[in-house]
Amino acid sequence: MAKYMLIWRSTDEANAKFENVDFNEMLESVGKFNDELIRAGVLLAAEGLEDPSKSVVVDFTGETPVVTDGPYGETKELFNGYYILDVASVQEAVEWAKRVPSSDGTKVEIRRVPTIDEFPQDNVWIQKERAWREATGQL
């Protein structure tokens, strides 16, 4: 099994359409999907994000970090939420992503989440992180 992050992104147009969707209807469709993931035993985490107009951006492109109100850059494709699944393959992650309740203009990007075992185990920072993960029950 491997962890895959499904990153839920949408365009300005998709966000505008979403404003006309009944909130309870949206909760119902997302809730049903989440329940499927839970019953299949593959859901590790899932969160939606607050409106990007309420975000803060820390920009490191200059000599010193600059903090501004968000959203970051252009709003052609905003990151609205994510799922982290524990599935056997990227193909299985794709099959789940195809079922994400969404509207026109949204995309789901899939990226594997490397495990701590894939990093050099003799590195002091990896050792500290491993100890923290063990102490917090994550390993």
pLDDT digits (tens, 9 = 90+) for 48-86: 888 777 888 888 989 999 888 877 666 666 788 899 999
For residue 70, give the CATH number of its domain: 3.30.70.1060
131 is written with which tokens?
Answer: 């100890």
pLDDT tens profile 103-135? 677 888 999 999 999 999 999 999 999 999 999
Rounded to whole angstroms, the Cα distance separating 4 from 125 reads 24
- DSSP assigned state of 106: E
Contact assessment for residue 4 and residue 111, using Cβ atoms and an 8 Å cutoff: yes
Mean pLDDT over 12-16 rounds to: 75
Q: How many separate domains does the chain show?
A: 1
Q: Strand 43-48 and strand 56-59: pairing?
A: unpaired
The DSSP output letter for 104 is T
* Contact by Cβ (8 Å): 8, 106: yes
Pick the closest to residue 45 from 89, 94, 7 (CA basis): 7
Q: Which domain holds residue 37?
A: 2-135
